[in-house]
């Protein structure tokens, strides 16, 4: 090892450099001070090598290697990819003009002054390189310079001008930048006097810069947002909101993404969406926003605000919009049912305070929720309580007929064969039997998965109701005319002949046994014990095995 390498520098407790202390002291005031302090401690060891510990050096070993090349006269080329590291390193090492002329700090400052003539890609690339030394670059004012350079390059059209105008409320960032570097104020005034050096003739949209800026880290994007004074609740810019949504969308697929780093940007995006939602975002777009931002740790306030906006326009949603996958483990279910419940509560609450076409909107959402229930019913992790919570979130007025809800219940029972009788009975409580068409009521009575007492209750509700019930929706008017006719009573004697009379306990028992027997005949899986129970009840009450003694069901 050469004797001239009499200084050992341990960099960030990871790397070791051997240099000549006299040479390095000519350029770095910081190292000169440390060398003097070390020499005082080792007066009796003149020939021993001095060891210096340097912590928190910007740029790590690569940055220090560039500095040593400059000091040893190797000749380094300063460009947009390394100027941020060299600038921060020269400031850290105090490589000023007091030590020697044309020192590294002066050279980097002169290079940065030419930022006015840089291309758009050069500024973005330089900002990207700042991520390696962000804390130092931010404290030295370099990030502010580059951010203003980026803003100066964005074309000054109407929408983007609105973004720039939002920077007026926040003067702290601008003041900080200008206090550290006067050039930052010059950049904005200069951009007003000359056009950008890059031609954007091929770009016709205000969003041309979205993809380029998406390569930057969240800290730099937050710096840009703060510079514009649009952070969090202050965001009222549609262009900026669209950029944040585009930016966050590109970060979602990255599994290594630290979601907490993006939470502030996500909250800012939510505020912009809520501000311009009704005029700039459709219901489908709002669900897309929800899917994107749900992947980040947005605040509770932001989530409530976003769900409120979606809930107010929920009647414009489609089935695909509601089928949002549930986060976390599969034990919670395939879809986020809790989210739909919260949105329904918002819609119903808003509907109770509005007038006009609210009934039409409510019926539209009723049909949508019935489709939703039919879609999620096969989910094995969907609890009965959740099914009921969705179904009962809407008032009866939201459904002209409950046939669609019955079909959802039928699918649920088919997909959950091990459901107890108590749960099957509980599941049917959301049905309004008076709003079942006659055909659906007959299907319910024949369904072996429906408890017999529910079938009796449904048929009894139909009989005791003063309202007429059609075979189908197309036959509604026809059935209304012949409902009480003698011919109808002879052709369809489904308890109609008992209208106006109370059912005796014996008749209800007959009806119950008839339902049990028909369900047993329709089901191939009924056990012999159930058949024996039905027959024993028939003998106990004095009934013969002739089916003519039972009330007809169809």
> Among candidates 238, 93, 276, which has minimal Cα distance to 160?
238
Q: Residue 436 CB: number of other CB atoms within 10 A?
A: 23
Rounded (10°) CA dihedral 289, 294, 295, 298: 110
Q: Residue 53 CB: number of other CB atoms within 10 A?
A: 11
Q: Distance between the two ends of the chain, CA-based, in angstroms?
A: 105
Q: Is the pLDDT of residue 477 over 60?
A: no
- Sign of the Cα torsion 140, 143, 144, 149 reads positive
CB 272 within 8 A of CB 244: yes
If you average pLDDT over every residue of the chain, what do you get?
A: 77
Extended strands (E) in 62-171: none
More confident site: 553 or 44: 44
Determine the Cα–Cα distance for residues 281 and 278; give it in Å rounded to an integer.
Answer: 6
Q: Which residues does 310 contact at the CB level (< 8 Å), separation at least 6? A: 283, 286, 287, 290, 317, 343, 346
Q: Is the pLDDT of residue 496 over 60?
A: no
CB 50 within 8 A of CB 38: yes
Q: Is the pLDDT of residue 513 over 80?
A: no
Kindly indicate the confidence band of residue 329, based on its pLDDT and cuts at 50, 70 and 90.
low
Structure tokens at 409: 């219940």
**pLDDT tens per residue, range 175-231:** 333 333 344 344 334 334 333 333 333 344 678 899 999 999 999 999 999 988 888
Angle between helices 172-180 and 142-153 (to 10 degrees): 110
Q: Which residues does 171 contact at the CB level (< 8 Å), separation at least 6? A: 229
- Sign of the Cα torsion 332, 333, 338, 343 reads positive
Q: Is the pLDDT of residue 523 over 60?
A: no
Q: Is the pLDDT of residue 318 over 80?
A: yes
Q: In the chain, helix, strand, coil percent, each to 5?
A: 65, 5, 35
DSSP label at residue 74? -
User: Residues of 165-184 as b/e, b for ≥16 C-beta within 10 angstroms?
Assistant: ebbeebeebbebbbeebebb
Q: What is the pTM of this model?
A: 0.73
Q: Is the pLDDT of residue 160 over 60?
A: no
**pLDDT tens per residue, range 414-457:** 999 999 999 999 999 999 988 998 889 889 989 999 999 988 88
Q: Which residues does 42 contact at the CB level (< 8 Å), separation at least 6? A: 48, 50
The whole-number pLDDT of residue 222 equals 93
Percent of the chain with pLDDT over 70: 70
Partners of 54 in beta bridges: 11
**pLDDT tens per residue, range 17-62:** 999 888 999 999 999 999 988 887 766 555 567 889 999 999 899 9
Structure tokens at 333: 């279910």
> Among candidates 15, 28, 184, which has minimal Cα distance to 94?
28
Q: Is the pLDDT of residue 288 over 90?
A: yes
Determine the Cα–Cα distance for residues 230 and 367; give it in Å rounded to an integer.
Answer: 41
Determine the Cα–Cα distance for residues 239 and 170; give it in Å rounded to an integer.
Answer: 18
């Amino acid at each position: 090892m050469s004797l001239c390498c009499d200084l050992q520098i341990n960099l960030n407790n990871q790397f070791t450099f051997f240099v000549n202390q006299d040479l390095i002291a000519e350029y770095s005031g910081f190292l000169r001070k440390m060398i003097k302090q070390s020499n005082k401690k080792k007066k009796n060891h003149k020939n021993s090598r001095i060891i210096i510990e340097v912590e928190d050096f910007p740029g790590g070993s690569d940055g220090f290697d560039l500095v040593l090349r400059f000091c040893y006269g190797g000749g380094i080329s300063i460009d947009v990819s390394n100027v941020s590291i060299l600038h921060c390193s020269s400031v850290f090492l105090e490589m000023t003009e007091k030590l020697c002329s044309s020192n590294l700090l002066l050279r980097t400052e002169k290079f940065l002054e030419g930022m006015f003539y840089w291309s758009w890609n050069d500024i973005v690339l330089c900002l990207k390189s700042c991520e390696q030394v962000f804390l130092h670059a931010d404290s030295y004012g370099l990030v502010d310079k580059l951010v203003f350079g980026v803003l100066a390059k964005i074309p000054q059209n109407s929408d983007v001008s609105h973004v720039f105008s939002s920077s007026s409320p926040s003067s702290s960032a601008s003041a900080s930048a200008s206090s550290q570097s006067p050039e930052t104020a010059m950049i904005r005034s200069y951009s007003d006097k000359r056009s950008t050096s890059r031609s954007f003739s091929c770009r016709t949209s205000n969003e041309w810069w979205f993809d380029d800026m998406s390569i930057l880290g969240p800290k730099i994007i937050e710096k840009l947002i703060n510079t514009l004074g649009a952070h969090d609740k202050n965001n009222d810019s549609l262009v900026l909101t669209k950029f944040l949504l585009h930016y966050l969308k590109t970060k979602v697929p990255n599994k290594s993404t630290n979601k907490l780093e993006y939470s502030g940007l996500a909250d800012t995006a939510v505020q912009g969406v809520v501000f311009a939602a009704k005029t700039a975002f459709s219901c489908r777009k709002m669900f897309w926003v929800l899917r994107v931002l749900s992947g980040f740790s947005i605040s509770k306030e932001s989530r409530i605000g976003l769900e409120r906006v979606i809930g107010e326009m929920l009647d414009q949603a489609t089935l695909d919009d509601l089928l949002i996958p549930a986060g976390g483990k599969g034990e919670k279910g395939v879809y986020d049912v809790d989210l739909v419940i919260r949105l329904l509560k918002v819609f119903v609450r808003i509907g109770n305070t509005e007038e006009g076409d609210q009934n039409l909107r409510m019926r539209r959402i009723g049909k949508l929720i019935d489709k939703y229930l039919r879609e999620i019913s096969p989910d094995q992790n969907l609890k009965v309580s959740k099914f009921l919570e969705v179904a009962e979130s809407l008032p009866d007025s939201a459904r002209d007929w409950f046939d669609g809800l019955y079909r959802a219940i039928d699918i649920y029972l088919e997909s959950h064969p091990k459901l107890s009788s108590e749960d099957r009975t509980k599941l049917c409580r959301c049905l309004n039997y008076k709003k079942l068409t006659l055909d659906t009521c007959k299907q319910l009575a024949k369904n072996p998965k429906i408890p017999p007492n529910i079938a009796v209750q449904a048929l009894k509700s139909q009989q005791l109701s003063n309202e007429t019930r059609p075979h189908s929706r197309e036959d509604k008017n026809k059935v209304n005319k012949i409902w009480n006719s003698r011919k109808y009573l002879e052709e369809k004697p489904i308890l109609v002949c008992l209208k106006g009379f109370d059912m005796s306990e014996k008749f209800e028992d007959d009806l119950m046994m008839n339902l049990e027997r028909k369900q047993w005949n329709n089901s191939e899986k009924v056990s012999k014990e159930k058949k024996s129970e039905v027959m024993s009840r028939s003998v106990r009450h004095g009934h013969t095995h002739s089916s003519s003694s039972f009330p007809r069901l169809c």
